[in-house]
Structure 1
């Protein structure tokens, strides 16, 4: 066990050093031509200036995040002697290390597995340097810790999930998989109390805490989403739409885009209905069921989203890693598909993003592969979750068990 933990530590140090090297050479064309790091030093840095004055950037169409994102983006200013960019990367690495430690500690317990720590340590670098220039690692840390604290404290699970949801909504999806009864009531109660308390504090400290709702509602169809893939292929059939930078992403504009967006929203409603149906019909819970359900939920909401940014893969890697800490998980093949989709995502962005934006045949093929892997993972994840929580089949007694004993057939 100690040798495996040392190997994980050495791998983490080596791969994160490589990610930092890639970050330092972000200006190279194949690494994004400076576009990856620009998110931090230009956009996050600008928001920091607004947030430091006690207000959310209400009139900025790029601000689409819940109020809990404010403290995350302000926190780099608390580290002395570093630029905002340097401090942001340092805090992201700290969150990454916290996830690795949490997964390693959970996996080292009796009856558990270190596969989760291995997946996270080796899977995150597949996204190259992108994770270090987004705050999704911090959000994933809250979701991972929420799930891993569940066996010991449903209260802590609910509290961490609520804090994560205040930062980027999706960590709330770790709660629907909790076992029916006391565990669910406890976690949801503490999530509500923690969320309401934190939101009240943020509303006092910052002006315009709900400004993000207006910008989020106006988002269109991003080129990397399933709808975007369909529209990209449609350009080869004569569809006259185009790509425009708006709401912080490259989105399609033109005829039928609003129809595709509504179809995505309808698909999200179907995904919600499926999760609700599973919840109502589930009858068996194992220690891994909350982990598996969280991964399934986030996968379903990801594949039906109008936006599938590359950093979404960070969420899926984190949840897949939590699943693999349990030997009872039903999601091992799903985790493998997520790792494959993550590797393709790095080729999509930043390596060949110009091909995707131009909807060339190469770009369309990449999106078909990546989104095809995600769609397969989502369908397989739901199917395996459904089967794992259904009653175990009962064995029918064989014919021999119905025979009377030989002595019963003998005349007295």
Structure 2
């Protein structure tokens, strides 16, 4: 008697047998391909950092390690204008001390690698069924975006603490639909580490779940702040350092000044408040304009929240990406590591087929590639000016600006006045799995 063939999905992934993380033989082919690419690409990233010659390795070895030594004494850096982070930033700075058998740089890189691995596994997990297929309405595109985009930044993700912050924000978003209280706790912790993860609760649908998410976010942030205030001195010293920030050379306002230099603007670039900033005529006006744009972006987000009437499973994710994009492009500083945030939130959006942010994710991917051309390849040239570095930074920030406008427009269209084509996306997703590249 002939044996029945093994059931497969419509693109050939076997469904027979239970799917277990501890048994790679049960993993679907797509998960195996992701794991293989992830391992190979991350070896290259670690190799870049391990060489010790990369700027990000020097940053960890000198700056982060210096802060670690101060934090170990029970105080935040006093009088250090480069310490401009909320009190929760002490946690990733102190974390390498959990691995005393490694140097600070080695321990930091190991922790970043582990964070990357857990994040990649979480993205795969939310997309794949235990039987080997895809959840209804879910896509593996987000897992692929994370795997492919992060190495475009070379060794940078493992040399900055933005990776664990992004992972916490992604966890908050992924937990929000089923466990809004726990998702809010993650958002609160992330907000106390680097502020922007608080935006992950913006798109939560109205109702009991939103109240739980917002309340737990506020409660967890306050509790962590109280603990840190008891354990450390000078907990709020970072606020004074933030007041003196100017216009960083890679920001949107800095791009205006980069172009102005080509036409004779007499300003200079100097190390100022922990970053390379423009000093000269009209800089203060541009810095003020950036702050006004940030306020305007916040006002638009509040208006969207008030006017939004239509939610689908992707709306909380889409709203978070839009919010962070708007605050990034209007900021007085756009550092290369900020792209890690946008990659992570774009990846979360792409886990849902009904997301309206797919074109935005492509723009973020392109901006990530141009960012690596900017830093480290053209960074020194950008300090001194010239048409080549100006073209690079205009291209990068142009992509980010386009991504912000497209993101906001599509979010408004789907939640406030949805078009029929976008409204039908969740309905189509319920009919069965459709392969998304």
Normalised to the residue count of structure 1, the TM-score between the two structures is 0.93
Does the CA-based 8 Å contact 2:87-2:228 persist in structure 1?
A: yes
Is the deviation greater in 113-122 or in 351-360?
Answer: 351-360
Residue among 353, 364, 372 paired with 2:398: 372
Question: 1:327-366 counterparts in 2 under 5 A?
Answer: 327-366=353-392
Residue 393 to residue 91, structure 1, CA distance change in 2 (3 Å): closer
> What is the number of equivalent residue pairs in this alignment?
389
* Structure 1 segments (4+ residues) deviating >3 Å: 391-394
Indicate whether 1:35 and 2:55 are aligned.
Answer: yes
Residue among 110, 126, 130 paired with 1:106: 126
Provide, for residues 162-218 of structure 1, a one-character-per-residue CA deviation record: whole Å limited to 9, x for no partner: 000010000001111111121211101101111111111111111111111111121
- What CA distance in whole angstroms lies between the structure 1 residues aligned with 2:118 and 2:77? 30
Question: 1:47-58 counterparts in 2 under 5 A?
Answer: 47-58=67-78
- What CA distance in whole angstroms lies between the structure 1 residues aligned with 2:214 and 2:345? 19
Does the residue aligned with 1:14 lie in a helix, a strand or coil?
A: helix
- What CA distance in whole angstroms lies between the structure 1 residues aligned with 2:293 and 2:299? 10
Equivalent residue number for residue 416 of structure 2: 390
Does the CA-based 8 Å contact 2:326-2:404 persist in structure 1?
A: yes
Does the residue aligned with 1:68 lie in a helix, a strand or coil?
A: helix
CA RMSD of aligned residues (A): 1.3
Indicate whether 1:217 and 2:219 are aligned.
Answer: no
Question: 1:153-192 counterparts in 2 under 5 A?
Answer: 153-192=179-218
Provide, for residues 244-293 of structure 1, a one-character-per-residue CA deviation record: whole Å limited to 9, x for no partner: 01222110001111111000001101111111111111110001000000
Equivalent residue number for residue 268 of structure 1: 294
Does the residue aligned with 2:87 lie in a helix, a strand or coil?
A: coil
Larger radius of gyration between Structure 1 and Structure 2: 1
Q: What 5-or-longer segments of structure 2 have no aligned partner? A: 1-12, 14-27, 130-134, 421-437
Indicate whether 1:133 and 2:159 are aligned.
Answer: yes
Shift of 1:390: 2.7
Normalised to the residue count of structure 2, the TM-score between the two structures is 0.87
Q: What 5-or-longer segments of structure 1 have no aligned partner? A: 28-33, 395-412
Shift of 1:80: 2.6
- What CA distance in whole angstroms lies between the structure 2 residues aligned with 1:287 and 1:358? 47
Does the CA-based 8 Å contact 2:120-2:147 persist in structure 1?
A: yes
Does the residue aligned with 2:334 lie in a helix, a strand or coil?
A: coil
Provide, for residues 43-79 of structure 1, a one-character-per-residue CA deviation record: whole Å limited to 9, x for no partner: 0000000000000002101000000010110010111
Equivalent residue number for residue 31 of structure 1: none
Equivalent residue number for residue 195 of structure 1: 221
- What CA distance in whole angstroms lies between the structure 2 residues aligned with 1:392 and 1:78? 49
Is the deviation greater in 268-277 or in 334-343?
Answer: 268-277
Does the CA-based 8 Å contact 2:188-2:198 persist in structure 1?
A: yes
- What CA distance in whole angstroms lies between the structure 2 residues aligned with 1:63 and 1:7? 41
Residue 78 to residue 361, structure 1, CA distance change in 2 (3 Å): same
- What CA distance in whole angstroms lies between the structure 2 residues aligned with 1:261 and 1:40? 29
- What CA distance in whole angstroms lies between the structure 1 residues aligned with 2:219 and 2:244? 30
